[in-house]
Structure 1
Amino acid sequence: MNIYRSMLLGVLCIGISACASTSQNTAAENKLASSCEKGIEIAYKELDFAKTTGFGGSWEYTKAASLLGTAKVQSGFGAYAGCIDKVSTARAYIEESKK
């Protein structure tokens, strides 16, 4: 009986340690996450402005909206580098839609 308790205790300790170590973000990850979220916020404002000024039906606008949706999903999964890349590309498309 003591062997089973010892094994159970060991498994629980390993599980708790694994969970604790994955919940801590590094400063670099926090910076990427912040940059991603700010970029999404700014890009959506630019996208809304483009729509109100009559550029909402352009092909570039549609690509930008799709990229921002993808960036938001990547942000949710912690893929911040991909998120930042998508936001940058989306903002370029938004600029193109205004020309």
Structure 2
Amino acid sequence: SRLYAALLLGLLLTACAGNISSDQAMQCTEGLKAAETELNEAKLKGFSSSVSWTKAANLIIAANVQKQLERFPSCIDKVRRARLYIQDSQR
């Protein structure tokens, strides 16, 4: 009975951890799509020569690497910073 309870608890904790990871994976993926779209729009407007645009492009590349390594919190952080640089590049 105790073994069964311990196994059940372990499965529940694993399921909860999986949900967090999948939520973060989705946030990373959606953020990357938005950032890449914003980056391309900024490029079309002629902002691709700015330092901020270049920093954003590099952060997006790094975020893609973090996504492949399943380091979703790092991906989310890099996407957030990239989007700030994209906004800054258009000022």
TM-score, length-scaled by structure 2: 0.81
Unaligned runs of 5+ in 2: 1-14
Residue in structure 2 matching 1:61, options 44, 53, 73: 53
Aligned residues: 76
Quote how far apart the aligned CAs of 1:93 are. Answer: 0.1
Matched AA of 2:79: V
CA distance in 1, matches of 2:71, 2:90: 29
TM-score, length-scaled by structure 1: 0.75
Residue in structure 1 matching 2:83, options 91, 94, 98: 91
Quote how far apart the aligned CAs of 1:45 are. Answer: 0.1
The equivalent of 1:78 in structure 2 is 70
Identity of aligned residues (%): 38
SS of equivalent to 1:55? coil
The equivalent of 1:4 in structure 2 is none
Matched AA of 1:86: K
CA distance in 2, matches of 1:26, 1:50: 36
Q: Deviations over 1:12-49 (max 9, x none)?
A: xxxxxxxxxxxx87001000000000000000000000
Runs of 4+ displaced beyond 3 Å: none
The equivalent of 1:7 in structure 2 is none
CA distance in 1, matches of 2:82, 2:47: 14
Q: Deviations over 1:50-85 (max 9, x none)?
A: 000010110000000000000000000000000000
The equivalent of 1:35 in structure 2 is 27
The equivalent of 1:50 in structure 2 is 42
